[in-house]
Amino acid sequence: MATDVQVPTLGESITEATLGEWLKQPGETVGRDEPIASLETDKVAVEVPSPVAGVLQEHVVAVGDTIEVGAVIARIGDSKGAAPAKAEAAKDASGKSAPATAEATPPAADPDSQPLTLSPAVRRLVLEHGVDPSKIHGTGKDGRLTKDDVLAAAKAEKAEAREPSMERVEPAVAAPVASGERREERVRMTRLRQTIAKRLKDAQNTAALLTTFNDVDMTAVMDARKQYKELFEKKHGIRLGFMGFFVQAACLALRDVPSVNARIDGDEIVYHDYVDVSVAVSAPNGLVVPVIRNADQMTFAEIENTIADFGKRAKDGTLSMDEMRGGTFTISNGGVFGSLLSTPIINPPQSAVLGMHRIEQRPVVMPDGSIAARPMMYLALSYDHRLVDGREAVTALVRMKEALEDPMRLLIDL
């Protein structure tokens, strides 16, 4: 008797998803709780585990189909009946069963001929580095490939490619390309990318967006990191990054200017006595925004550990939807990609977002009139002008600038 595999509950307000890829094909054996498919929701990719051990009998839906929570996507059969003794094939032309031969006992499986089951994270790395997964020895459970296995294989291939060959190699002749040939490729948008596009456009259509700018001298923050980074890492097991300073500075500013941490709900304004900071993180399928809950109550080490964990799991595709729900203020760091200046778009229903940018040496006129090269960063605060006045936005950004240029303010709460 076959067992139906249904779309699991995906979280509050998530009622449907798109089938991203099949991790198991019909005829393959599956273990209980082993992932057989990957679903794309509005926020994250979710793996669907098999409810029983057995053999995958059929796919009920196709890749790209939109399916609702509770819908049947596949059927799992009993492994005992999955591999009949090929009675039909064993019969001779007269219709009589042929005598049992050595083939009646299935030969030992060749590991290299078995279909590989790759997790979404491993599959992305395989595609990214262009390695052959069948030639990689898996060190994971049951011989499955891990990310480290793929990365090691890719590194080995690059090292081998750099070694000079002792044989004379004839230069390859490039295939002729038709003059003026122009190509196009159509790729279906992922559900996550569709959601990002819709939400950003809705934000532009709904909110009265405005951005205010300032720059910050990062000398004090950089000096603090240089002085304490080794002690910090030794004690807490995590590097002291820039984001901890920015989250702390933002919490200080939002407490002084609560409207920047508020939201509009109908004809009412909702103020929060806590700060849940959404941190924009780059993931393989697009931008995701997990939330640091009660950031205003956290230490530098707790903030840095939380952000590092978010970044790792965003790449692995293992962030949960609960971790990306809510948030009262967003920080986006475009500086890691080299951005000098930008106007970030708010993350509805939030009313403001802080954009960080790259640090670069620029000439600055010092208080004594001298000119010195200083590590400067542009900050951008985009906000919903329906709720936040210009004076409040500028005040909040100046508070952040002051705290970053004099981190002692974070310690003594100024």
Q: Which residues are identified as catalytic?
A: 385, 389
Surface-to-core class of residue 39, CB atoms within 10 Å of its CB (0-12 exposed, 13-18 middle, 19+ buried): buried
349 upstream amide cis, omega within 30 of 0? yes
Return phi, psi of residue 82, to 5°: -80, -30
DSSP structure string for 321-374 = SGGGS--SEEEEEGGGGT-----PPP-TTBSEEEEE---EEEEEE-TTS-EEEE
Scored b (16 or more CB within 10 A) or e, 173-183 reads eeeeeeeeeee
- Sheet with 16-22, strands from edge to edge, namely 45-49, 35-40, 16-22, 66-68
3-class state of residue 403 by DSSP: helix
Residue 219, H or E segment: helix 219-236
| Of 58, 30, 38, the residue nearest 144 (C-alpha) | 30
Query: Is-contact 399 256, C-beta < 8 A?
Result: yes
Neighbours of 135 (CB within 10 A): 9
Surface-to-core class of residue 234, CB atoms within 10 Å of its CB (0-12 exposed, 13-18 middle, 19+ buried): exposed
> Would you state the structure tokens that stand for residue 330, as one six-digit string?
């967003």
Query: Is-contact 376 362, C-beta < 8 A?
Result: yes
CA geometry: angle 263, 265, 270, nearest 5 deg: 45
| Of 226, 321, 238, the residue nearest 9 (C-alpha) | 321
d(CA 394, CA 385): 12
